[in-house]
Amino acid sequence: MTDRIRDYLRARRDLGLDEGPVMVLDLDVVRDNFSAFARALPDTRVFYAVKANPAPEVLSLLAEMGSCFDTASVAEMQMVLAAGAAADRISYGNTIKKERDIVRALKLGVRLFAIDCQGEADKILSATAQAEVEAGEVQVFCRILCDGAGADWPLSRKFGCEPEMAVNVLEHAHRAGLQAYGVSFHVGSQQANTEAWDGALASASMIFRECALRGIGLSMVNLGGGFPTKYLKQVPGVETYGDAIFRALTKHFGNQIPETIIEPGRGMVGNAGMIEAEVVLVSKKSEAEDEVRWVYLDIGKFGGLAETMDESIRYAIRTDHDEDRMAPCVVAGPTCDSVDVLYEKNHYPLPVSLAIGDKVWIDGAGAYTTTYAAVAFNGFPPLEQIVI
């Protein structure tokens, strides 16, 4: 918790406005994070992953600092444009796009697109005709599969294709008149292993060589996101990631290091936000001595903590009683849904003196909370966000 967040919450409480959970985000931390990325990877362009937290204040700050933006939808592009960044700083990083949305993106001036199959290249080509844009102005990069080992948030095979297929996808795009620009991958969100980029860069360099043999000069590698934020466990600093990535780039590309892009989301905003929530109930399921306590908060899986799904992300939960004796608890949310349980397989230690009405603070809550919140499940409003 930063001093600014602490002061804000104290004032809110003093005014009696502290009803319902709130996430408070400190822009100073976002500013520091952007600077750290810029220092750690000085020759790499930063594309902030807007989906992590699209708050207008965050987008404006990053636009001002010179960041580029990775967007998942036309709505996100519009938010970025409204924040003052030009369209040439936006990529359409979703490999799953409706053709009419590609047309809209082109009309907004966006020229950088992710693909992972020939069908998606065909849609872009067709969209250029409709938007009256030269195909040769449009840059496409092909996403490849990555195993995601070492990451806390599960990475599926949803995005990307096998590296061998990527060569054909890029050749297809090239022959259609699009600019075959490069390769992208994602090592998995909340990636604790700084060496995770090595294997993917080996594949990327193979694709560069294979494309060169076919007369196609690729020039960019999109290193994706995956940079972690601190929850309970300590994580390496961003400079450690920068060093490891630079070593892997040199190893696989020698003295022909390509242009690079990174797409931090969680790593940019995660530690900037903190949730204040309230204990609604503490109870037991039977009167047995050793029965575990259930602690019910006024925030749960449907109110912003969706990333506790399968207990993937284990948040740090602080209380005013943390000096007291701790005992294992099940932690659950406030809705009438039986799956709205945060930690049950792995009990969470909380102070024995924690009581109904106590506040709790959840750190590292700046990413993937406000937008994951359900519209009005059980009549509960979505998570409120205050940017300071």
Beta carbon nearer to its own copies, 43 or 287: 287
Please say whether the beta carbons of 218 and 259 come within 8 A: no
Task: Give me the catalytic one of 117, 142, 211, 336.
Answer: 336
Q: Which whole-number Å values give the CA distances from 129 to 124, 136, 268, in the listed order?
A: 9, 12, 37
Kindly give the pairing relationship between strand 68-71 and strand 90-92. Answer: parallel
Cα angle value 66/200/203 (rounded, 5°): 115
Question: Between residue 202 and residue 231, which ones bind its own copies under the rule CB under 8 A?
Answer: none
Closest approach, Cβ 355 to its own copies, in A, equals 9
- Of the candidate spans 35-43, 236-244, 358-366, 369-377, the one that interacts with its own copies by CB under 8 A turns out to be 369-377
- Of the candidate spans 26-34, 98-106, 204-212, 346-354, the one that interacts with its own copies by CB under 8 A turns out to be 98-106
Q: 2, 139, 219, 371: which one contacts its own copies (CB under 8 A)?
A: 371
| Interaxial angle between packed helices 99-108 and 74-82, expressed in degrees from 0 to 180 and rounded to the nearest 10 | 20
Q: 63, 133, 218, 341: which one contacts its own copies (CB under 8 A)?
A: 341
Q: 26, 152, 278, 363: which one contacts its own copies (CB under 8 A)?
A: 278
Q: Which whole-number Å values give the CA distances from 280 to 40, 115, 165, 346, 353, in the listed order?
A: 43, 46, 53, 21, 14
Radius of gyration, alpha carbons of the chain: 23
> Total number of residues binding its own copies (CB under 8 A)?
83
Q: Does 276 bind its own copies (CB under 8 A)?
A: no
Q: 87, 382, 384, 386: which one contacts its own copies (CB under 8 A)?
A: 382
Closest approach, Cβ 251 to its own copies, in A, equals 26
Question: Between residue 101 and residue 160, which ones bind its own copies under the rule CB under 8 A?
Answer: 116-117, 119-120, 123, 145, 148, 153-160
Closest approach, Cβ 233 to its own copies, in A, equals 21
Tokens of 337: 């849904």
Amino acid letter, residue 154: P
Residue 94 backbone dihedrals phi, psi, to 5 degrees: -80, 125
Closest approach, Cβ 145 to its own copies, in A, equals 6
Beta carbon nearer to its own copies, 99 or 198: 99
Q: 105, 183, 207, 332: which one contacts its own copies (CB under 8 A)?
A: 332
**Residue 45: how many other CB atoms lie within 10 Å:** 18
Q: Is the dihedral of CA 241, 242, 243, 248 positive or negative?
A: positive
Would you call 336 a catalytic residue per the annotation? yes
Q: 26, 152, 340, 363: which one contacts its own copies (CB under 8 A)?
A: 340
Instruction: Give 356's contacts (C-beta < 8 A, 6+ positions apart).
Output: 279, 280, 281, 282
Please say whether the beta carbons of 172 and 214 come within 8 A: no
Q: Does 16 bind its own copies (CB under 8 A)?
A: no
Q: Does 75 bind its own copies (CB under 8 A)?
A: yes
196/375 Cα distance (integer angstroms): 36
Question: Between residue 296 and residue 315, which ones bind its own copies under the rule CB under 8 A?
Answer: 296, 298, 302, 306, 309
- Of the candidate spans 6-14, 201-209, 269-277, 368-376, the one that interacts with its own copies by CB under 8 A turns out to be 368-376
Question: Between residue 36 and residue 65, which ones bind its own copies under the rule CB under 8 A?
Answer: 49-51, 54
23/158 Cα distance (integer angstroms): 30
Residues with a catalytic annotation lie at: 336
